[in-house]
Amino acid sequence: MGFPHCPICVAVAFLTAFITATRSYMVYLLYKESVKRKATFSPIWIQT
């Protein structure tokens, strides 16, 4: 089966790609926020 496929399959493929990209970006944002909070709060825990 080549590229010209049924429109439903093409739509599902684009939807899957969009959901995957959005999910990856959300995980990246959560990881970045987690690292930022660890860097902010770690000196407080070390001093006490």
Q: How sure is the predictor about 48, in pLDDT bands with cuts at 50, 70 and 90? A: very low
Q: How sure is the predictor about 2, in pLDDT bands with cuts at 50, 70 and 90? A: low
Is a pLDDT exceeding 50 seen at residue 3? yes
Structure letter (DSSP) for residue 29: H
**4-40 pLDDT, tens digit each:** 778 888 899 999 999 999 999 998 888 888 877 766 5
Instruction: Give 1 or 30, the one with higher predicted confidence.
Output: 30
Instruction: Give 15 or 47, the one with higher predicted confidence.
Output: 15
Residue 26 to residue 38: CA distance in whole angstroms: 18
Residue 22 to residue 43: CA distance in whole angstroms: 33
